[in-house]
Structure 1
C-alpha cells in the first residue's frame, strides 16, 4: 500500500487538505452484507472488487468514498481513490487506505484469522465465494494521504 500511496496524484492530496481531513479517520463500509445473526449485525462479508464507504467526519456528516478491495485469507486491503464532496456532485481525487485495528499496518484482519471477542457469525449468511472474507466490524480505520503526510505506524507500548 505504501508504494500505492506514494503515487497519489497531487490533486488527491489537496482534497484532504482542502476539506480539513485528519490523517487517520474512520470509514463505514456500505456495500457489504451481514454475516452475523439478526441480533448481532457487526460482522460483515466483503468481496474483492469495487467498494463504497462513508468517511465519517463527525456525528452528523460524512463523505461518500469509493475504491477497490482485495481479499486474501488473512487480510483485506482497501484503497479509496474517489471522494464525493456533495451527494449529487461529481467525485474528486482522493487517496486513502484501510488500516488494521491497531493502526500500525495496512490491511484489515479477517474474522477467520482474528475473531473479535463476541463477534458472531451465522453460517447461513457467510459468503463462501473464493474472493470473499468476513470482517469483525463494518467500520475501518483509514489512513488519508495529505500534502505532507507520510504514513507512520502507531507505536504499540506494552
Structure 2
C-alpha cells in the first residue's frame, strides 16, 4: 500500500513537467513563426519600395500630320503622345533631342493609313513602331533611350 500513495505524487510531477515542456515548445514555435514573418515583411517591404518608384513621363506637344492616301483621299491625324520612360536621365535625354524625336514621330505617323489607325490593334502596332523608332540612339556614342510605353493622350483621324 505504501507504493500506491507515492504513485499519484509522481504522476502529478510527470504531468507538471510535461505541461511545462509542451508550453516551452509552443512558445518557441510561436517565437520562430513571428520572427520569420517579420523577416519576410521587411524583405517584401523593401522590394515593394524599390519597385514602387513613381513613373516618369514625357509629354510631347500634339501633332497634326497628313496620312498616306487611301481610298478616301487625303486624311489627317491629330494625336497627342506621352512617353513613359525608365528614369529622369532618359527623360532629359529625350528633351535635349526633342527636334529629332519630333522628326522621327512625324516620319512614322505620316506613313500610316487612316484605315489602319481606326482599330485598337492598329493603334497598338503604331505605338510599338514608335517605341522601336524612338529607342534608336540619337548620337553614335550614346546608349539607346529606355522607353517603357507609348501612350496616346489624344487621337483623331479625319
- Larger of the two Rg values belongs to structure: 2
TM class by smaller structure: under 0.3
Point out the structure with the larger strand share: 1
Relative to the length of structure 1, the TM-score reads 0.27
